[in-house]
A and B are shown apart, each in its own frame.
Chain A
Amino acid sequence: MTPSHKSSSPAIYLDYAATTPVDPRVAELMIECLRPEGAHGNPSSGHTFGTRARSMIEKARQQVAAAIGARPECIIWTSGATESDNLAILGVARFHADRGRHVVTSRTEHKAVVDAFKQLEKEGFEVTWLKPGTDGIVRPEQVREALRPETQLVSLMHVNNETGVIQDVAAIGAICRERGVAFHVDAAQSAGKLPINVEAMNIDLLSLTAHKAYGPKGIGVLYIRRRPPLGLRPISYGGGQETGLRSGTLPTHQIVGMGLAFEIGEREREADVTRLSALRERLLKGLLAIGGVELNGHPTERVAGVLNVCFHNVEGESLRFGLRELAVSSGSACASGSDEASYVLRALGRSDQLAQSSIRFSLGRFTTEDDVDRAIAIVSREVGRLRALAPTSTPTP
Chain B
Amino acid sequence: MEPEYSSTVVEHFEHPRNGGHFEAGEGVIRGTAGSVAQGTMFVLSAQVAEERIEAVRFEAYGCPHCIAAGSWLSERLVGLSREQLRAWRWRDADQALQFPLEKRGRLLILEDAVRALSEAWTRLIP
Contacts and interface: CB of A to CB of B under 8 A. Distances in A.
A317 B64 contact: yes
B118 interface: no
B7 A337 contact: no
Interface in B21-68: 21, 32, 36-37, 39, 41-43, 58-64, 66-67
B101 to A, nearest CB: 13
Given A2-B4, A321-B64, A394 B10 contact: no
Contacts of A51: none
A271 interface: no
Given A353-B39, A392-B21, A315 B62 contact: yes
B87 interface: no
Given A1-B6, A6-B14, A315 B63 contact: yes
B5 interface: yes
A186 to B, nearest CB: 24
B79 interface: no
A336 B64 CA distance: 20
A328 to B, nearest CB: 12
Interface in A274-303: none
A386 to B, nearest CB: 8
Given A1-B6, A337-B1, A390 B59 contact: yes
B2 interface: yes
Given A336-B1, A391-B41, A2 B7 contact: yes
Nearest to A321: B64
Chain A interface main SS type = loop
B98 to A, nearest CB: 7
B5 A4 contact: yes
Contacts of B70: 389
A238 interface: no
A110 to B, nearest CB: 18
A3 B5 contact: yes
Contacts of A320: 2
A318 interface: yes
A235 interface: no
B63 to A, nearest CB: 4
Given A389-B67, A394-B41, A2 B62 contact: no
Contacts of B61: 313, 315, 390-391, 394
Nearest to B7: A2
B71 to A, nearest CB: 9
Contacts of B121: none
A321 B5 contact: yes
Interface string A70-89: 00000000000000000000
Contacts of B14: 6
Given A318-B13, A337-B1, A390-B59, A2 B6 contact: yes
Interface of B: 1-7, 10, 13-14, 16, 19-21, 32, 36-37, 39, 41-43, 58-64, 66-67, 70, 98
